[in-house]
């Protein structure tokens, strides 16, 4: 019989968020601990024990908890491992699910953060009841989760869903992955800042952005919202690259909706309008005018957490 | 209880092939009729009745047949319709599955030809037992079927799997679909001929291909096999576009193998080697050196037929 609660864990580069969720997607208790600052992954897991104990107690005992679901960058659903995640403190191949299972004695299911968010949207958010959709997370990088026939596409090795590393511009910007032109080098928070700096350098146009010595994605959004022409062009360009890349992805999986999550997605129409325009302009006729582009329907902190907990059911 | 036979029907632009298949994928009886030459789709279906009767008789009666599976260009699995297939005689939206069900009184399942071929490879061919692979058919156009988690990706509307219409070259060649730069405009039998003519026009290099007033894909293959430098460069270029496009598709679905079917696939290493080279060069590290590129393991005429019959189980 399924037990009433599951533990969801969302591991980010800076913080790890843990939550006790019920089947309806209500988070009953939530806690946060640092991801950084531990010399080894074993010390990190040892520190997590206190948080787990607290959640177990709130649930009224171990017998009420169905298992643990984990969303983590570069997490592999099939192996339970985390491999070379650039934003995590641990290098190489970390058997995280096995280590956590050993430490906490719960079944542990693990996937990458974008897939966990997709799972959260499918069970409790903007994709409730949908069988075919794409989840895009626009953060420091660009993550993606693809759902087809009601299931996450993990691929044969568990590493599927790397649309951020589809090559969008042949011979384009050098990416952290060592290749050139990856979509995330243009459409992440990092990418839009590179674009803004390029635009500022290559034009003499006046812009609110020229007042800053160091520009972040937030400043670009604020300037665009204030009507700054150059900042709006930066969003237009970002949306063009993302729209073109999505059009090619749509030709493969034909989703019902595309859901956007993460910092840059909060810019709303500033980013979604140009994405929509350029995606539609690049879609095969049969796909045109039928795909909704929507922001995540889950509260920020909860999407990945709920998705992670959903893995445990 | 499942009955011992299924009828598979592969509808091509010129001919329609019908077969009686058993569960092990053995075709017990096969027949062919023209697709063209009927004034309406009703007359086409009426003419098909004689072929169906023959298969039913060979099966020992209607009670031994589980149903009919159909592979047809632009066929939609969900609706059973064929929509605006450029190489078929019927325009608009044809409710083919419903018409055939009414005429023959068997359950009729229908999908597009590339998906049917993928189904054939999964049940009886190079993808037997695999859950994640990509099927590419290199014919007059380029078809594709994506399988993830052991299921064909149909998409929410049944039109998924159009990798031939992923845009490979921004602002590139005008495609029949009205857009520019579609992969099939470079990598189909039609596309490779365009490339050859372009190469011949833009170079003064001697080539065996200069002896022909009209070049086809076969002549290019023969010239390349004879060591013709220009013809080999044509295959290299074709493989580059296909490899680059496949690399981006791999980032989405992470397949175990990619299976190639159709006329151009018969060129073997001439096409597969450059595809492999350029795909690997464009893959994210985690996907490198683990995807096999293989030719179809089914006899030519049988792949789509077996796939179509597989739909009926």
ipTM: 0.93
Q: A255 to chain B: which residues are within 8 Å by CB?
A: 155-156
Select from B159, B122, B151, B119 the least CA-distant residue to B305.
B119
Q: What is the pLDDT of residues B42-88, one digit of tens each?
A: 999 999 999 999 999 999 999 999 999 999 988 999 999 998 887 78
Instruction: Provide mean pLDDT across the span B109-136.
Output: 94
Give the minimum alpha-carbon distance from B257 to chain A in angstroms, rounded to a whole number: 9
Reduce the DSSP state of residue A20 to 3 states and report it.
strand
Give the minimum alpha-carbon distance from B158 to chain A in angstroms, rounded to a whole number: 8
Name the pTM for this structure. Answer: 0.94
pLDDT at B192: 98
CA distances from residue A124 to A117, A151, A298, A306, B270 in whole angstroms, order as listed: 10, 15, 8, 8, 50
Q: What is the pLDDT of residues A104-119, one digit of tens each?
A: 999 999 999 899 999 9
Contact A167 B254 (CB under 8 A): no
pLDDT over 90 (residue B304): no
Give the minimum alpha-carbon distance from A99 to chain B in angstroms, rounded to a whole number: 23
pLDDT at B86: 76
Of A165, A282, A290, the CB nearest to B284: A165
CB pairs under 8 A between A and B: 144
Contact A254 B157 (CB under 8 A): yes
Give the minimum alpha-carbon distance from B209 to chain A in angstroms, rounded to a whole number: 31
pLDDT over 90 (residue A16): yes
Give the minimum alpha-carbon distance from B136 to chain A in angstroms, rounded to a whole number: 12
Tokens of B181: 């730069």
Select from B106, B126, B105 the least CA-distant residue to B117.
B126
pLDDT at B14: 87
pLDDT at A168: 98
Give the minimum alpha-carbon distance from B164 to chain A in angstroms, rounded to a whole number: 9
Q: Could you say which DSSP state residue A209 is in?
A: G
Average pLDDT, chain B: 94
Give the H or E element holding residue B301.
Answer: helix B300-311
Q: A77 to chain B: which residues are within 8 Å by CB?
A: none
pLDDT at B301: 67
Q: Return the sign of the alpha-carbon dihedral for residues B156, B162, B165, B170.
A: positive
Of B159, B170, B248, the CB nearest to A287: B159
Q: B151 to chain A: which residues are within 8 Å by CB?
A: 148-149, 151
Given a contact cutoff of 8 angstroms between Cβ atoms, the answer to whether A247 and A274 are in contact is no
pLDDT over 90 (residue B127): yes
Given a contact cutoff of 8 angstroms between Cβ atoms, the answer to whether A312 and A107 are in contact is yes
Residues of A with CB under 8 A from a CB of B: 83, 130-133, 144, 146, 148-149, 151, 153-163, 165-167, 170, 177-179, 244, 247-249, 251-256, 282, 284-287, 290
Q: What is the distance, to the nearest Å, from the Cα of residue A95 to the centroid of all Cα atoms in its chain?
A: 21
Instruction: Provide mean pLDDT across the span A36-46.
Output: 94
Interatomic CA distance for residues A214 and B158, integer angstroms: 47
pLDDT at B89: 87
**Selected residue of A286, A288, A289 to mutate for chain B interface (largest B Cβ count, 10 A):** A286
Q: A279 to chain B: which residues are within 8 Å by CB?
A: none
Of A132, A149, A178, the CB nearest to B149: A149
Reduce the DSSP state of residue A26 to 3 states and report it.
coil
Tokens of A276: 């929509």
Q: A133 to chain B: which residues are within 8 Å by CB?
A: 156
Tokens of A3: 């037990």
pLDDT at A86: 76
- Burial pattern A193-211, b for ≥16 Cβ within 10 A else e, equals bebbeebbeeeeeebbbee
Q: What's the pLDDT band for A279 if we cut at 50, 70, 90?
A: very high
Q: What is the pLDDT of residues A219-265, one digit of tens each?
A: 999 999 999 999 999 999 999 999 999 999 999 999 999 999 988 99
Instruction: Choose between A301 and A73: higher pLDDT.
Output: A73
Q: A149 to chain B: which residues are within 8 Å by CB?
A: 148-149, 151, 153-154
Q: A247 to chain B: which residues are within 8 Å by CB?
A: 167
pLDDT over 70 (residue B270): yes
Give the H or E element holding residue B291.
Answer: none
In DSSP terms, B182 is beta-bridged to B167
In DSSP terms, A273 is beta-bridged to none
Give the minimum alpha-carbon distance from A118 to chain B in angstroms, rounded to a whole number: 14
Give the minimum alpha-carbon distance from B148 to chain A in angstroms, rounded to a whole number: 6
pLDDT at A1: 62
Interatomic CA distance for residues B189 and A169, integer angstroms: 26
Residues of B with CB under 8 A from a CB of A: 83, 130-133, 144, 146, 148-149, 151, 153-163, 165-167, 170, 177-179, 244, 247-249, 251-256, 282, 284-287, 290
Contact B167 A249 (CB under 8 A): no
Largest Cα–Cα separation, chain A: 67
pLDDT at B143: 93
Chain B residue with Cα closest to A154: B253
Q: B251 to chain A: which residues are within 8 Å by CB?
A: 160, 162-163, 165-166
């Amino acid at each position: 019989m399924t037990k009433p609660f599951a533990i969801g864990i969302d591991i980010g580069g800076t913080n790890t968020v843990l939550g006790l969720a019920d089947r309806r997607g209500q988070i009953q208790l939530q806690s946060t601990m640092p991801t950084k600052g531990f010399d080894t992954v074993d010390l990190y897991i040892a520190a997590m024990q206190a948080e787990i104990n607290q959640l177990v107690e709130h649930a009224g005992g171990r017998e009420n908890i169905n298992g643990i679901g984990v969303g983590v960058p570069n997490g592999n659903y099939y192996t339970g491992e985390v491999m070379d995640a650039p934003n995590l403190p641990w290098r190489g191949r970390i058997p995280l699910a096995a280590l956590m299972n050993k430490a906490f004695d719960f079944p542990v299911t693990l996937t990458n953060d974008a897939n966990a968010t997709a799972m959260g949207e499918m069970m409790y958010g903007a994709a409730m009841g949908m069988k075919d959709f794409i989840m895009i997370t626009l953060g420091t990088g660009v993550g993606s989760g693809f759902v087809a026939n009601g299931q996450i596409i993990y691929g044969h090795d568990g590493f599927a869903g790397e649309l951020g590393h589809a090559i969008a511009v042949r011979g384009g910007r050098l990416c952290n992955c060592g290749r050139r032109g990856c979509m995330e080098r243009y459409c992440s928070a990092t990418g839009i800042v590179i674009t803004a700096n390029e635009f500022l350098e290559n034009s003499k146009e006046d812009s609110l952005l020229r007042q800053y010595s160091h520009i972040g994605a937030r400043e670009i959004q604020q300037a665009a919202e204030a009507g700054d022409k150059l900042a709006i062009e930066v969003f237009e360009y970002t949306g063009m690259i993302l729209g073109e890349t999505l059009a090619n992805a749509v030709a493969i999986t034909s989703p019902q909706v595309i859901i956007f999550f993460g910092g840059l997605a909060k810019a709303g129409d500033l980013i979604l309008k140009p994405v929509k325009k350029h995606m539609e302009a690049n879609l095969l006729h049969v796909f045109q005018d039928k795909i909704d582009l929507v922001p995540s329907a889950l509260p920020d902190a909860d999407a990945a957490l709920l998705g992670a907990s959903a893995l445990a059911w």
